[in-house]
Structure formats: structure tokens, C-alpha cells
Amino acid sequence: MKILVINTGSSSLKFRLFDMRGLVRLASGLVERIGEARGRALLRYRTAAENRERTVERSGPITDHGRAMEEMLSLLGEAGLLAHAGELAGIGHRVVHGGEVFHRPVRIDTRVLEAIAELAPLAPLHNPVNLVGIRAAMAQAPDVPQVAVFDTAFHQTLPEHAYLYGLPYRLYEEHRVRRYGFHGTSHGFVSRQAAGFLDRPYGSLNIITLHLGNGASGAAIRGGRCVDTSMGMTPLEGLLMGTRSGDLDPAILLYLAREAGMDSDELDDLLNRQSGLRGLCGDNDMRTVIGRAEQGDGRAALALRIFCHRLKKYIGAYSAVLGRVDCLVFTGGIGENAALVREMACRDLENLGFILDRQRNLHRTEGIRPIHDDASPVRILVVPTNEELEIARQVVEVITPSEVQTS
Ligand code: AMP
């Protein structure tokens, strides 16, 4: 039997197919430009006979997510990977916001669909689109168990003093204003991977995880339970990101509304799409920012310093929150690949116990790799994230509760 993992965006559908046994990846792909005249569907897989990577691509109009789902199944069918949907033991859906309702992955039924819809005001760009994906998958594979895996669920262990803002308490009661946190699937996955690599029980470790991609967030994890995280009620808070501001004085918004006459849509666009690295230096891609900085571009160098300064502040804050840190994990496109960012973030943190080994940090290998000095009290690891694999693992957990594997 197989597990299909689906990540639905407003105009795209990303998917990955796993063999349930051993959760081996069989194929990955995407359908993009849904709703446009020139849609595109792509499938990558390894042929069993020749054992080599194959890519199949198709283009043509893909009117809606239902058609995208058909296209995906037809590509998988033609490649000989999935004769029919009945070969699927389960389908896992990434859902962005589970609010306070969902603390763990759940099998989807009518009540779950309603609850995800009710949470839409908290994630208006994501939850409705995730629902479209779920409904399309249910229409294509009505007999296959569908499982929702929430980006927020891992952070539901945050204590009240970490998730409440300094606002009137009634705003929490009436409008659910609180910190939820995101990237939970990744923080959970890489922290468990780190414990496995260190050969220590997950529950015995205090870990700081830094997921640094186009969106970026940190988490403080005590004994396998997340106790603080940098993203807030929305993914805007915390670290500097590709196009998002991260932390700022909320009075800046009031000032801009009054002095620059900006309305809520303009402020939304400013904070989510025109800020961060892009706002500071014009580029949101860290590779480009580092490349420019290395060529002597002052503005790009400044954006890089601000990015790393913010990282350092969170490493320090979470060290204080945890009291003792056993392991610091870097993950995400930047965390896994940008040695310079890791080096700048850990610079001068020796007194807090973070001692990086420069050579190990520069050395690139596949998989998990330690980059700390042998004398470092804190283990520092680069751990490649794999949210799809983690979703597949959680699907297996939900559909076969008696076979739950804790790792
Ligand atoms: P993600 O959202 O996890 O795919 O990460 C995307 C970010 O990772 C972008 O800012 C990329 O520029 C960055 N990234 C990917 N590879 C590298 C690299 N080799 N060096 C620096 N940044 C990288």
C-alpha cells in the first residue's frame, strides 16, 4: 500500500508518493498554474527497471483543483506507480492552521472539514485553499482515509505565558488572538531526527530548532514539547524573512496609517511581501543576498547582518527559556545550505555554549551533519527537513494506531 501527501496552494498542488513500508519515496511532483490557460504538471520518479530518475512533464489548461488532482493521478498511473486510488492506504494533507482545535493529525470527516473552515479567518489565504484540495482528493478517492496534518499542531504545547500577548485578555477569549506558531511539522521532524542522530531519548533533550527558508521561524523544545516559537498569530512575527518583516514595534503601523495614509491592505502588502530581505536590499533570495554581499554590496551585507543578528537574539532568548540547551538545529533552504549564515548566527556565542567548528560548518555532505567543535557544550547540527515524509509518517500513525512507532 501507498501513502500520498498533498500540499495545496491557491494555484498549485504539490505531491509526494511513498511506499507505506519503510516510507520510501516513490515519486514527487507538482501541478501548477491551476486556473490558467497554460497549466503544467510534472512528475519525478525512479524507474524500477533501469533505476534512473525520470521526469515527465505535461502542459495544457488545468481549470481547477479537481482537474489538477485527476492530472496527478493520471501521471502516477501512466508511470506505473499507482494503478488506481484504491492502492492508497491514506492521503495526508498539509493544513496551515489548526487553531486551538487540533493538537495532532486527525482523520478527516465532516466535523473536521467544518472546523478547518471555521478557522479560515485565522489563515484566510491558506485554510480555504487547503479545504479545496481536501475536497478534490475526497472526490477522487472517496474510500481512502484522508488525514489532516496541521502546521500549528506541534506548538499547541506552548504554555499560556508563552502564547498570550500583552493585550486585553478578552481579545484572546473573543477573537482567539494568541501565538499559534507555524512550520510545526518541520520543527517536530528535525528535532526528532536530531535526537535520533545523537542517540538520546527525545524526551531527555532541550533543543532549539531554526527553520530558515523563505519563511523562517525558531522553536524552543523541552523534552519533546515545544515551549516557545517565534511565529505568532500569523507567520509574520519573529525572525527576518525573505519578504516578511518579522518582529517590529506595532506602533509603526499606527504611525504609517496616520502619517503615510496607508490602509490595512497596503500595510498587509508592506509587511508580508515588501519587507524582510527584499525590503532591505531588493532581493529576497538568500543566495543572491550573500552573493551581492560578497561582491561588496553594502545594502545586501546589511540585510544579511540584520538577518543573522535577529537569529542570534532568538538563540539567546531560547537559551534563557530552556535554561540548558543540548542541541541547536539548523534546517530549511538557508539553514541547510548557507554556512555563512550559520557562522554569523553563532559568532560570539561561545560563552552560551555554542562553539562552531569552522571547517565542519563549511563541509557539505548529504544528511544530518554535526558542525560543532568537539569542546562545544551544545551540539550544533544541520538537519535536512522533510515535511512530506513527516506528514506521511503521521498519516501512518493515524490510520494504524496500533502500529504507532515512536522515534
Ligand atoms: P526554502 O523556503 O526552505 O526552500 O528556502 C529558500 C531559501 O533558501 C532561499 O532564500 C534560498 O536562497 C536559500 N538557499 C537555498 N540554497 C542556498 C545556498 N546554497 N546558499 C544560501 N541560501 C540558499
What is the DSSP-derived secondary structure letter of residue 356?
B
Distance CA 190, CA 187 (A): 6
Question: Do residues 105 and 49 touch, judged by C-beta distance below 8 A?
Answer: no
The atom number, within ligand 1, closest to the CA of 215 reads 2
Longest dimension (CA), the chain: 67
- Nearest C-alpha to atom 4 of ligand 1 is from which residue? 333
From 109, 151, 269, 374, active-site residue: 151
Distance CA 126, CA 8 (A): 9
pLDDT value of residue 402: 61
pLDDT value of residue 401: 67
Long-range contacts of 162-168 (CB under 8 A, 24+ apart): 162/227, 162/228, 162/321, 165/232, 165/233
pLDDT value of residue 176: 95
Q: What does the pLDDT look like over 202-233, one tens digit per residue?
A: 999 999 999 999 999 999 999 999 999 999 99
Query: What distance in angstroms lies between residue 276's CA and the mean position of ligand 1's atoms?
Result: 15
The atom number, within ligand 1, closest to the CA of 214 reads 2
Report the chain's C-alpha Rg in angstroms: 22
All 3 cell numbers of residue 106? Answer: 486527525
Task: For domain 2-150, say whether CATH 3.30.420.40 is its number.
Answer: yes
Angle, CA of 175, 176 and 177, to the nearest 5°: 90
Please choose, from the candidates 89, 110, 99, 69, the residue with its C-alpha nearest in 3D space to the C-alpha of residue 21: 89
Burial of 173 per CB tally in 10 Å (0-12, 13-18, 19+): exposed
What is the DSSP-derived secondary structure letter of residue 203?
G
Name 292's Cβ contacts closer than 8 Å, sequence gap at least 6: 281, 283, 299, 300, 301
Name 69's Cβ contacts closer than 8 Å, sequence gap at least 6: 13, 133, 136, 137, 139, 140
Fold of the CATH domain 201-387: Nucleotidyltransferase; domain 5 (3.30.420)
Query: What distance in angstroms lies between residue 47's CA and the mean position of ligand 1's atoms?
Result: 29
Burial of 81 per CB tally in 10 Å (0-12, 13-18, 19+): middle
Q: What does the pLDDT look like over 107-143, one tens digit per residue?
A: 999 999 999 999 999 988 889 999 999 999 999 999 9
Q: Residue 285 catalytic?
A: no
Beta bridge partners of 15: 6, 29
Domain 201-387 in the same topology as domain 2-150: yes
Measure Cα distances from 244 to 112, 235, 284, 314 in Å: 31, 9, 9, 17
Question: Do residues 303 and 241 touch, judged by C-beta distance below 8 A?
Answer: no
Strands 206-212, 327-331: pairing is parallel
Query: What distance in angstroms lies between residue 369's CA and the mean position of ligand 1's atoms?
Result: 18
Low-confidence ranges of the chain (pLDDT < 70): 401-407
What is the DSSP-derived secondary structure letter of residue 372?
B
Amino acid making up residue 17: L
Mutate to test the pocket of ligand 1, among 14, 211, 337, 341 (most ligand atoms within 8 A of CB): 337
Strands 2-8, 88-95: pairing is parallel
Residue 207's Cα: distance from chain center in Å?
A: 17
**Residue 382 dihedral angles phi and psi, to the nearest 5°:** -100, 120
Beta bridge partners of 379: 327
Angle, CA of 27, 103 and 123, to the nearest 5°: 75
**In the chain, domain spans:** 2-150, 201-387
pLDDT value of residue 406: 43
Query: What distance in angstroms lies between residue 272's CA and the mean position of ligand 1's atoms?
Result: 18
